Amino acid sequence: MHMLDIVTDKVSQSNITLILTAFITGILSPIALHWARYFFNKKEKSKQDDILQYLHFNEQVDDRIEQLRSEYNLDRVWLAQFHNGGSFYPTGVHQKFQKFSVTFESCKPGISSEHNQITNVPVSLFAGVFKKLAESSYYGISNVDESSENVKSFWADRNIKGFHMFAVRCLEKKFVGILCIDYVGRPSDLTQKAIESFMVEARVLGGYLTHVEA
């Protein structure tokens, strides 16, 4: 190969390198930057959308509980959910529902809130009650004073004379929480028809909770 050919070949290689460098920095880099921005912006928007959706369904649950309390002239309506109470519990499946806490509540004016009182309550204290709820989706006592239940003090100490509890289930029909009606200082006058309506409402609220936790 002549010297001229060698020089020409090196010049050609250099030109190709320059062209590729220019192509990468001038065209590919902006495209890569654009896609990177698109990816991260989309991810950030997805997080914001999740938060907005979470707040939206929370608001729906709050509104519905308030409507029910007002419609039936109830003293207090609350919804509690099962949880493990903290990371100090084993992570096995059987340990997922160690406690329950009130997450939504509506009270008549003059009736105290118990949102901060009924929190991290051991499920084991209400094993019998929750067993009945899991089996029939309903458990209630119209007059606590006439009851012989071993958890009677839970209601009596809070001046609750009557109550009704309904199992809240997710879309997969798993028992995930409790919808409860408290009658403060008076026995319950809730009709059987109303009880049946609340059983339906508990299923609806369970659907909302599924979206809230998604």
183: left (phi > 0), else alpha (psi -120 to 50), else beta? beta
Task: Give the pLDDT confidence score for residue 21 in this predicted structure.
Answer: 56
State pTM to two decimals: 0.70
Q: Looking at 108-158, which runs of residues are DSSP E strands?
A: 121-122, 138-141
Averages of pLDDT over runs of 10 residues in the chain (214 residues) are 46 53 55 54 57 77 94 96 60 63 95 91 89 93 84 86 93 88 96 95 85 51
Residue from 84, 117, 98, 154 nearest 165 by CA? 154
Tens-digit pLDDT profile for residues 78-90: 999 888 765 333 3
List, in order of start, the domains of the chain with CATH numbers.
Answer: 64-213 (3.30.450.40)
Task: Give the pLDDT confidence score for residue 191 in this predicted structure.
Answer: 95
Tens-digit pLDDT profile for residues 91-103: 444 556 688 999 9
